Structure 1
Amino acid sequence: MSNNQLGTKPHYQVLDGLRGVAAVIVVFFHLSEPLAASRFENVINHGYLAVDFFFLLSGYVIGYAYDDRWGKMTIGGFLRRRFERLQPLVILGMTLGAIGFYFTDSTIWPHIHEVPVWKLIVVMLIGYTVLPIPLSMDIRGWQEMHPLNSVAWSLFFEYIANIFYALGLRKLSNKGLACFVFLAGALLLHFAVTNPNGDIAGGWTLNAEHMRIGITRTLFPFFAGLLLSRVARPVYIKNSFLWCSLLLVTVLFMPRIGGEDHLWMNGLYEAFCIIVVFPLIVYLGSSQVMRTESKGRICKFLGELSYPLYMTHYVLVYFYVAWVSNHSGITLRQAWPYALLTFSGAAVLAYASLKLYDEPVRAWLRKRVKQSAS
């Protein structure tokens, strides 16, 4: 049976909305980041944990959508569906990043116009595959595996988690999966409290250290989400979208804990968020079906916008970062109008990307798959 014959299941509306809330926080985190003198001073200090929340949401949704379909679906069919969902915006983000590359004049990228066009094109084409580039091809100088669209590093690990799931981990019993999740959680906790930086930020560079961070950040939340989708029996929580959103905002906006003298305390806080708070949010968020059309439309809109916003916003953030770096010593009070303008532009770009590109391309891909299967 083809994938298109499998049908679709209803979405968890609150989880859709929470994905959008997390994506908005990621954008504001990236806008506040260049204004912070150090990792201890960012006003949205734990905004990067939204990526770990995305991983947990992804594992939950994958389990809900596909766990009971493997009798009718092949590994290739599953991966084709994930490719259809994820890859179009990967390609768009890389293309837009390449187009804007030479226009981000900045004191922090003085060499940018020395990069030959052929090298830019090669980096873009490799980026289309989500495969990481070696440091020798880092044309921006930030030691990133995707220098044209920074955020694509998380998609690399998202694909790895999906492949692990498809190739075998989906076959684990609930007890076996619980053991795997426990070990992954212990690995995450150990790294968080022993990391010399006092946090779990990382995963975007092609070296041993960041690969370890990326895998550590992916395994627990993704497969904890999968386990949660199997064993949780949610009960109805009134206004769960509101309460879950407030809880998510609170933990991501929490100031740095422990300072420079007790780095382990911040690591422990971040591990607690990922291991305890995020699963609780997803559990509570999966308990409510919207009873009013207006709230349902808000969650639907946020959910639809979340992935395009995440995958395209950094194209504009590069220009913002360049502007901040060219105005050394600028304060948050001075920068906020430009940050708000950048956010507004990112929201418009995301919506245009969704309606003019992502939805039409995915519809075309589904049609092609259906034709090839018939």
Structure 2
Amino acid sequence: MDNNRLATKPHYQILDGLRGVAAIIVVFFHLAEPLASNHLDNIVNHGYLAVDFFFLLSGYVIGYAYDDRWHTFTVAGFLRRRFERLQPLVVLGMTLGAIGFYFTDSTIWPLIHTVPLWKLLVVLLIGYTVLPVPLSMDIRGWQEMHPLNSVAWSLFFEYIANILYAIGIRKLSTKALACFVVLAAAVLLHFAVTNANGDVTGGWTLNFEHMRVGITRTIFPFFAGLLLCRVTKPVYIKHAFLWCSLLVAVVLFMPRIGGATHLWANGLYESFCIIIVFPLIVYIGAGGVVHSKTESKICTFFGKLSYPLYITHYVLVYFYVAWISNHNGITLKQAWPYALLTLAGTIVLAYASLKLFDEPVRAWLRKKLK
């Protein structure tokens, strides 16, 4: 039976909504980042943990959607479905990033004016595959594996997790999966409390250090989400969307823990959030029920907007960061109108990307890849 013809299971509306809440906070994080003097005083200090939350959500949803269906389709069929879901917006994000590349004039990106068009096109074509760009092809100067669309690094690791799930880890018994997840949690905890930064940031550069960070950040949450789906039964909790949204916001807006002198304390906090709090949020959200048409519409809208917003927002953030860097010493009070305008622009761009590109292209791919 062709997996594209499989009946679609009902969505977890609240989990969809929470993905949107986290995506919006990611935008806030990136808007606040260039105004911070260092990584200790960003007013959205732990916004980057949204990526780890996304990985856990993905593992949970993948387990729910596919774990009991492997008798009906193949590994290739599964990967084709993931390609249909993820790749169109990867391509769009890279294209928009390339279009805007030469217009992000800034003192922090002096390389831009020296990049020949042929090199930009090569980086664009590699970016379409979501494979990492080597450091020799770094055309922006931030040592990113995707210099045309910074956030695409997490999609690279998302694909790795999906492939590992499809080719083998899905076959693990629940006990074996639990052992694997506990080991991954121990690795994550050790890394977070002992590394030189005192946090789990990283994963966007093609070198050993960042690859280690990326794998560490991906393996535990993704497969913890899968385990959570297997071993728990959702329990109804009243106003789950509200409480879960507040928990997500508290975690991501939490100021730096321990300052510059006790880096391990912040690593411990982030480990606690990823290993304990995020699974708890997903567990509560999975058991929640929307209570009104308005709440249902909000969750649906946030869910649909979440991935387009995440994968396209940095296209506009590049312009915002360039503006901030060209106005050295600008304060939050002076910058907030431009930040608010950029936020509004990212939401409009995300919605347009969803309706004018992502949904039509995915419908076309479903027909062509049957």
TM-based fold match above 0.5 = yes
Give the C-alpha shift of residue 291 in structure 1: 3.4
Within a 5 Å distance, the mapping from 1:90-109 to structure 2 comes to 90-109=90-109
Retained in 1: the 8 A contact 2:14–2:288?
A: yes
Runs ≥4 residues deviating over 4 A = none
Give the C-alpha shift of residue 292 in structure 1: 1.9
Q: Distance in 2 between matches of 1:311 and 1:218?
A: 17
Matched, 1:164 2:173: no
Partner of 1:348: 348
Within a 5 Å distance, the mapping from 1:179-258 to structure 2 comes to 179-258=179-258
Partner of 2:289: 289
SS at match of 1:200: coil
Retained in 1: the 8 A contact 2:240–2:289?
A: no
Retained in 2: the 8 A contact 1:17–1:301?
A: yes
Q: Distance in 2 between matches of 1:290 and 1:258?
A: 38
Partner of 1:26: 26
What CA deviation, in whole Å up to 9, does each residue of 1:212-267 have, x standing for no partner?
00000000000000000111112110100000000110011000000111000000
Which stretches in structure 1 are left out of the alignment for 5+ residues? Answer: none
Q: TM-score, normalised by structure 2?
A: 0.99
Of residues 109-118 and 337-346 in structure 1, the stretch that sits farther from structure 2 once superposed is 109-118
User: What RMSD in Å do the two structures reach over aligned CA positions?
Assistant: 0.6
Q: Distance in 2 between matches of 1:4 and 1:254?
A: 42
Retained in 2: the 8 A contact 1:67–1:170?
A: yes
Partner of 2:317: 317
Partner of 2:62: 62
What CA deviation, in whole Å up to 9, does each residue of 1:320-349 have, x standing for no partner?
000000000111111000000000000000
Partner amino acid for 1:174?
T
Q: Distance in 1 between matches of 2:135 and 2:30?
A: 22
What CA deviation, in whole Å up to 9, does each residue of 1:143-188 have, x standing for no partner?
0000000000000000000000000000001100000000000000
Q: Distance in 2 between matches of 1:113 and 1:189?
A: 42
What CA deviation, in whole Å up to 9, does each residue of 1:277-313 have, x standing for no partner?
0000000000022232211111000000000000000
Q: Distance in 1 between matches of 2:110 and 2:50?
A: 31
Partner of 2:338: 338
Q: Percent identity?
A: 79
Partner of 2:13: 13
SS at match of 1:204: coil
Q: Distance in 2 between matches of 1:322 and 1:191?
A: 33
SS at match of 1:11: coil
SS at match of 1:111: helix
SS at match of 2:48: helix
Q: Count residues in correspondence.
A: 370
What CA deviation, in whole Å up to 9, does each residue of 1:113-157 have, x standing for no partner?
210000000000000000001101000000000000000000000
Give the C-alpha shift of residue 5 in structure 1: 2.1
Retained in 2: the 8 A contact 1:203–1:213?
A: yes
Retained in 2: the 8 A contact 1:6–1:69?
A: no
Partner of 1:85: 85
Q: Distance in 1 between matches of 2:331 and 2:202?
A: 26
Of residues 302-311 and 285-294 in structure 1, the stretch that sits farther from structure 2 once superposed is 285-294
Q: Distance in 1 between matches of 2:27 and 2:73?
A: 36
Of residues 92-101 and 286-295 in structure 1, the stretch that sits farther from structure 2 once superposed is 286-295
Partner amino acid for 1:66?
Y
Partner amino acid for 2:328?
S
Partner of 2:132: 132
SS at match of 2:84: helix
Give the C-alpha shift of residue 28 in structure 1: 0.4
Q: Distance in 2 between matches of 1:2 and 1:369?
A: 10
Retained in 1: the 8 A contact 2:135–2:145?
A: yes
Q: Distance in 1 between matches of 2:185 and 2:193?
A: 12
Retained in 1: the 8 A contact 2:241–2:290?
A: no
Give the C-alpha shift of residue 4 in structure 1: 1.9
Q: Distance in 2 between matches of 1:142 and 1:285?
A: 37
Q: Distance in 1 between matches of 2:337 and 2:59?
A: 37
